[in-house]
Amino acid sequence: MTQARVIDLVTDAAKTRAGIGAFNVIQLELAEAIVEGAEMAGRPTILQISQNCVLYHGSLAPIASASLALARQSEQPIGVNLDHATEPSLVAEALDLGIDSVMFDASTLSDQANRASTAAVVAMCHRRGVSVEAELGEIGGKDGVHAPGARTDPEQAAAFVEATGVDALAVAVGSSHGMTRRTAALDFDLIAALRAKVPVPLVLHGSSGVADADLAKAVTAGLTKINIGTLLNQTLTESIRATLANNPAMVNTRKYLGPARRAVAQVVAGLIGLLAGGVKP
């Protein structure tokens, strides 16, 4: 199996009214777990590398190269996306490394500046055959920058897509980044209204705070790409804590990272299957 193009995975899911999971990578173990989860579920998925992940590692190339290698050798189609990039230079580096999808986030700028910056990145990426996701309507919780109660206006969203040429749009409908409890209340009527107005696939950020039933309902209402990160971090951390609590003398990292990786893979597999349940006859 070769690396899949993210836009193809998202477009295929949108055509069948299914959802596709996009899971954030921080360590290699998480990337391996996400791919294993996709293979367990027997369905494609997306690995995401955020700008914060790049800052954690100090550079993009090592974690991107590892993620791309995992995608190429997987039994399932796996795409790799650069997530929440705010610097065009990082986008350009991702393109040179072979990443074919980027989420460019200029949502902290004024509407006019957001449109101009996003359009410039879209032009650069489209010249290289790379798709672009962007954000209009700030989504809560990202580094304390975004307003928690933000909502995306359907008319403004449609105008933004037309002005910038983006291939997918992240929308604010009630979720928030970094939630450790699954208590977010999504606005399903707004999701349906956005789906009716916006001509490109819609993306939900901050999905870790959304309960399973509401994730499935959100796909039915019109969301396609579902971003999940914090829930995987929780799963990995809780498994490691439990293993070390039961084995206080353990020092071999493989002994606690291995079970944690398997736990994350199981969560990923379940979520992929849940989101695929949005398929309509």
pLDDT at 108: 85
Instruction: Please write the tens of the pLDDT for every residue from 198-253.
Output: 999 999 998 877 889 999 999 999 999 999 999 999 999 999 999 999 999 999 99
Mean pLDDT of 113-141: 89
Query: What local confidence, expressed as pLDDT, does residue 136 receive?
Result: 80
Angle at 57 between CA 8 and CA 225, to 5 degrees: 25
Please give the model's pTM, rounded to 2 decimal places.
Answer: 0.92
Which CATH number do you get for residue 14?
Answer: 3.20.20.70
Q: What is the 3-state secondary structure (H, E, C) of 65-85?
A: HHHHHHHHHCCCCEEEEEEEE
- Confirm whether 220 is domain-assigned: yes
HSE-CB at 167 with a 13 A cutoff on CA atoms is 24
Residue type for position 203: V
Q: What does the pLDDT read at residue 186?
A: 87
Nearest to 262 by CA among 66, 37, 110, 65: 37
Residue among 133, 98, 108 nearest 22 (CA): 133
Count the Cβ atoms, other than its own, within 10 Å of residue 245.
Answer: 8
Residue 281 lies in a domain: no
**In terms of residue numbers, what domain contains 92?**
6-276
* Active-site choice (83, 100, 167, 214): 83
Does pLDDT of 178 surpass 90? no
Q: Evaluate if residue 98 carries a pLDDT over 70.
A: yes
pLDDT grade for 145, boundaries at 50, 70 and 90: very low
The residue with greater pLDDT, 177 or 217, is 217
- Can you give the pLDDT at residue 174? 73
The answer to whether residue 32 is domain-embedded is: yes
Query: Does pLDDT of 141 surpass 50?
Result: no
Q: Residues 10-37: pLDDT tens digits?
A: 999 999 999 999 999 999 999 999 999 9
Query: Annotated catalytic, 189?
Result: no
Residue 1 within a domain: no
Is the predicted pLDDT of residue 1 greater than 80, yes or no? no
State the chain's mean pLDDT as an integer. Answer: 91
Q: Is 49 inside any structural domain?
A: yes
Q: What is the pLDDT of residue 279?
A: 44
Instruction: List the structure tokens of 83.
Output: 């997530």
- Count up the domains in the chain and report the number: 1
pLDDT at 192: 96
Q: How far apart are CA 140 and CA 208, in angstroms?
A: 13
Residue 136 lies in a domain: yes
Lowest mean per-residue pLDDT among 33-42, 56-65, 166-175: 166-175
